[in-house]
């Protein structure tokens, strides 16, 4: 059973449950709360200095999102990574983001080219420092920036909400420095084509990039078999 010490004081009132939800969601997605981990409603309420009511509300949202498994009379557990949900998330990302980079390539302005290059530099620095968390943040920044350049910033919120299960796989995969380097090369290819105004080329580079995470399922799941649901039996 894990004690979840809060990072920042939680404000009283109607925002308490959402704050707890977003905090726990981030810890689950980042795999700092690992699949199968037992979460204590009482302990979390104590850690945040609140009643159990907002914790229950946060747990309910996490359960609805497939990130928490509540077993009656047993407890609440961080859900294992659902590989069917991972594949669905990847499909959503590919469908939306390939169109996003096509539009970004047609609409990009000089200042935005500089912004994309700056994000790549931050990601490169994180890779050299083997900072997987920093690398992931820069990765997210690049994809969000592309949506803004395309004129569809709100679409990123839809993508972000849909990819929680996928992000857990990504975070596990990015522990490997070699995978970080490969993702960086893929990002450079996307940015180069967007900056060149090559919409079809950018869409192809994005498709290859997003599909590459599916290739990591086998190797990542071998190391962390207990974290996954839907694994095919080894032959």
- Looking at residue 107, which CATH number applies to its domain? 1.20.120.530
The stretch 12-32 carries a mean pLDDT of 86
Domain count, the chain: 2
| 39: containing domain | 16-79
Task: Decide if 178 contacts 127 (C-beta within 8 A).
Answer: no
Residue 92 CA from chain centroid, whole number:
13
Give pLDDT, residue 14: 53
Q: Are residues 138 and 25 in the same domain?
A: no
Q: Which residue has the tokens 């390539």?
A: 105
Asked if residue 148 belongs to a domain, the reply is yes
The stretch 89-97 carries a mean pLDDT of 95
Tell whether the model's pLDDT for residue 153 goes beyond 70: yes
Least confident of 82-86, 99-103, 144-148: 82-86
Give the strand pairing for 68-71 and 75-78: antiparallel
What are 188-214's pLDDT values in tens digits?
Answer: 999 999 999 999 999 999 999 999 988
Q: Are residues 74 and 22 in the same domain?
A: yes
Q: Are residues 132 and 206 in the same domain?
A: yes
CATH number, domain of 28, equals 1.10.10.10
Tell whether the model's pLDDT for residue 12 goes beyond 80: no
Q: Are residues 150 and 217 in the same domain?
A: yes
Tell whether the model's pLDDT for residue 11 goes beyond 90: no
Give pLDDT, residue 15: 64
Burial label for 104, CB within 10 Å (0-12, 13-18, 19+), is buried
């Amino acid at each position: 059973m894990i004690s979840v010490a809060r990072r920042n004081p939680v404000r009283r009132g109607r925002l308490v449950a959402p704050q707890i939800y977003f905090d726990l969601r981030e810890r689950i997605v980042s795999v700092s709360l690992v699949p199968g981990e037992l979460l204590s409603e009482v302990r979390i309420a104590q850690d945040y200095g609140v009643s159990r009511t907002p914790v229950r509300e946060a747990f309910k949202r996490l359960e609805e999102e497939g990130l928490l498994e509540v077993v009656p009379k047993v407890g609440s557990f961080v859900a294992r990574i659902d590989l069917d949900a991972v594949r669905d998330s990847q499909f959503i990302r590919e469908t939306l983001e390939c169109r996003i980079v096509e539009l970004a390539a047609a609409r990009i302005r000089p200042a935005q080219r500089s912004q994309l290059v700056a994000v790549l530099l931050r990601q490169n620095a994180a890779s050299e420092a083997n900072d997987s968390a920093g690398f992931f943040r820069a990765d997210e920044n690049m994809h969000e920036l592309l949506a803004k350049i395309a004129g569809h910033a709100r679409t990123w919120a839809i993508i972000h909400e849909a990819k929680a299960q996928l992000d857990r796989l990504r975070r596990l995969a990015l522990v490997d420095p070699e995978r970080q380097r490969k993702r960086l090369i893929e990002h450079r290819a996307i940015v180069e084509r967007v900056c060149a105004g090559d919409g079809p080329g950018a869409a192809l580079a994005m498709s290859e990039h997003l599909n590459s995470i599916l290739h990591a399922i086998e190797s990542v799941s071998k190391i962390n078999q207990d974290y996954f649901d839907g694994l095919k039996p080894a032959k």
